[in-house]
Structure 1
Amino acid sequence: MQKKILIVEDEDILREIAKDYLLNEGYEVLEAVNGNEALAIFEKHEVHLIILDIMLPEFDGWSVCRRIRKSSNVPIIMLTAREDEDDTLLGFQLGADDYITKPYSPPILLARVKRLIESRYAQAGHVPNEDNLINNGIHVHLPSRTLTVDGENINLTYTEFEILTYLMQNPGIIITREQLIIKIWGYEFAGDDRTVNSHIRNLRNKLGDKANCIVTVIRAGYKFEGKA
């Protein structure tokens, strides 16, 4: 199925450039020039990924991201003209999956889009013992990318799901922040350890009583310590 990308950008030139690159790769593109329009389009269409500018008229990108995350885990790439690390961390805290600072290279944006699309919507295999990760009441179902904790459904963003899956697939093994960055975002990612810390904090909050399964190893990284 052709994937739909929603570009939310009020600068016409930037929006058109991104649109052209995405169309050339075979994606269907929807466009919005402000936050209210973006939310209206999102409600009417099945959107597979959102490219979301922060500085928007009427309803800013932070507000759009916060509103969408109440009902959907669709991958979100946020765009900003500022190089403020606090902006980056706020975006991740609100549930963004990736973050690109303007001016950016369109091929880099396209690469980020393809990575998220392919990872999020790839068809998983159906070997029963490879479909599920179950440990200490935490149940990850890989084909549907869903999580339950003691039977309760928990909504994770794309990035939170990837981090939890990576840790659970390597129980008891220390995973460094660098390993997480390379695994989740790729070698070209320009973020730092604080980005990883922010996602881990969000993930622990969602795990509730099971948060202590993700252990911080000082000056080393993280590891998953559950029960067999």
Structure 2
Amino acid sequence: MRETILLVDDEKMISEVLEAYLKKDGYQVFIADNGIDALKKADTVQPDLIVLDLMLPDISGEEVCRLIRKDSEVPILMLTAKSGEAERINGIVIGADDYVTKPFSPREVVVRIQAIFRRVKKSSKTSGMELSFNKQGLVINLFKREIEIGGQIINVTPIEYRLLSNLAQHPGRVYSRMDLLEKIQEDGFSYEGYERSIDTHIKNLRKKIEADARDPKYILTVFGMGYKFGGSPDVKNASI
């Protein structure tokens, strides 16, 4: 079955060129030229990937991304004319999987999409695999990339998910900030943050998964070294 791509851009020429390249590569393509239409088609088409321009005529691409991320983990490749580091990092933080800065080569977009699908297919090998801790107080589904706390799925950013899943797969192992930064960037994931930015993501993640962020049970600080996972693995965790 061909992968389905939703292409969201209000510039007709860009949409037509990218559509031609993507169809030539065998993808099925749907097009939206504004944010509202993009949200509707994302819901009805259920695409395998979304190419999303940040500059849309009605609502911003950032807002479209945030709304989609409330209900879906579909990969999102952002197109942006903003070349500043802050804008690029913000795109990743709110839920994008990668970005391409305008002007760009249509072939580069296709290559980025191929790389994202390779990562998705690699993840699918762990279909059905779950890690659970503290008598299922915390459950991580490695295939769906979902995190449950007390039986409730919580919303996390792609970076937060990568941080938690990597820590949880090796309980007790101490990771330096640089170790975690490198883990985030594995498999071609674009992130240009600094070591200390890890602290901010950890702080935000603790607020979501810990009963008391000031007295964490899952993500523990190892002073002078970094972080480690402190949850107690349940017996069914076959991968640990």
TM-score (norm 2): 0.76
- For 1:105-184, list aligned pairs within 5 A: 105-121=105-121, 122-125=123-126, 131-136=129-134, 137-184=137-184
Report the CA distance shift for 1:202/1:210 in structure 2 as closer, same or farther (over 3 A): same
Q: Across the two proteins, how many residue pairs are aligned to each other?
A: 225
RMSD of aligned residue pairs (Cα, Å): 3.1
* Alignment pair present for 1:192 and 2:193: yes
Instruction: Report % sequence identity.
Output: 39
- Report the counterpart of residue 28 of structure 1 in structure 2: 28
Distance 1:25 1:171 in 2: 42
Q: Secondary structure at the match of 2:211?
A: helix
Alignment-mate amino acid for residue 31 of structure 1 = I
User: Which among 210, 214, 226 is matched to residue 219 of structure 2?
Assistant: 214
Which digits, 9 at most, give the CA deviation of each residue in 1:160-186, with x for residues without a partner?
A: 333322121122223345444544434
Distance 1:221 1:110 in 2: 37
Distance 1:178 1:104 in 2: 30
Shift of residue 56, structure 1, vs aligned partner:
0.9
Q: Secondary structure at the match of 1:47?
A: coil
Which consecutive residues of structure 2, in runs of 5 or more, have no partner in the other structure?
A: 234-240
Report the CA distance shift for 1:164/1:27 in structure 2 as closer, same or farther (over 3 A): farther
Shift of residue 204, structure 1, vs aligned partner:
3.1
Higher percent of residues as helix: 1
Report the CA distance shift for 1:145/1:94 in structure 2 as closer, same or farther (over 3 A): closer
Alignment-mate amino acid for residue 207 of structure 1 = I
Which consecutive residues of structure 1, in runs of 5 or more, have no partner in the other structure?
A: none
User: Which among 173, 195, 205 is matched to residue 203 of structure 1?
Assistant: 205
Distance 1:47 1:88 in 2: 24
Greater mean alpha carbon deviation, residues 180-189 or residues 163-172: 180-189
Retained in 2: the 8 A contact 1:55–1:61?
Answer: yes
